[in-house]
Amino acid sequence: MSGITDLSQLLKNMTPQLQEGEYVFCTVPDNQAIDIKEVLGSFREEEGITLILSRETADRLQLSYTYIAAWITLKIHSSLSAVGLTAAFSAALGREGISCNVVAAFYHDHIFVAKEDAGRAMEALKQLTINN
Cβ distance 84 to 7 under 8 Å?
yes
pLDDT of residue 100: 96
Compute how many other C-beta atoms are within 10 angstroms of the C-beta atom of residue 22.
16
Q: Which parts of the chain have pLDDT scores under 70? A: 1
pTM over 0.85: yes
pLDDT of residue 53: 97
What is the C-alpha end-to-end distance of the chain, expressed in Å?
25
| Domain ranges across the chain | 7-130
pLDDT of residue 33: 80
Cβ distance 121 to 93 under 8 Å?
yes
Q: Is 101 exposed, middle or buried (0-12, 13-18, 19+ CB in 10 A)?
A: middle
pLDDT of residue 3: 86
In 3D space, the residue among 39, 103, 110, 99 whose CA is nearest the CA of residue 71 turns out to be 110
Pick the CATH number of 7-130 from 3.80.30.20, 3.30.2130.10, 2.60.40.10, 3.20.10.10: 3.30.2130.10
DSSP, residue by residue, 91-119: HHHHHTT---EEEE-SS-EEEEEEGGGHH
Q: How many helices (H) and strands (E) does the chain have?
A: 4, 7
pLDDT of residue 105: 92
User: What are the residues whose beta carbons fall under 8 Å from the beta carbon of 111, sequence distance 6 or more?
Assistant: 16, 71, 72, 73, 74, 89, 93, 100, 101, 102, 121, 125
